[in-house]
């Protein structure tokens, strides 16, 4: 299995779950991670799926909604 890498940062749980749903619909596994309860949630995907995940998120969101890295 590939290492997990950051694909997006969500400001809250609802946004993170929306990103996960987009990725799930594209057939991409994802995980959520936050350093503390007050931190934004980082959305992680397998490194091998990073480009596909970025494309899926960009295709289904407005550019200002998500900070993709």
Give me the residue spans of the domains in the chain: 12-61
What are residue 20's phi and psi, to 5 degrees? -60, -40
Q: Which of 8, 33, 3 is nearest to 18 (CA)?
A: 8
Answer yes or no: are the C-beta atoms of 31 and 66 closer than 8 Å.
Answer: no
pTM: 0.80
pLDDT, mean over the chain: 86
Band of residue 59 on the pLDDT scale cut at 50, 70, 90: confident
Reported confidence tier of residue 69, pLDDT bands at 50, 70, 90:
very low
The class of domain 12-61 in CATH terms is alpha beta
pLDDT band with cut points at 50, 70 and 90 for residue 64: low
Do the Cβ atoms of 57 and 23 come closer than 8 Å?
A: yes
3-state secondary structure of 14: helix
């Amino acid at each position: 299995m590939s290492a997990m890498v950051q694909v997006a940062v969500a400001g809250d749980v609802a946004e993170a779950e929306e990103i996960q749903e987009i990725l799930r619909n594209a057939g991409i596994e994802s995980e959520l991670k936050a350093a503390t309860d007050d931190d934004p949630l980082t959305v992680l995907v397998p490194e091998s799926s990073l480009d596909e995940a970025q494309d899926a998120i960009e295709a289904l969101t407005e550019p200002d909604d998500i900070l993709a890295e």
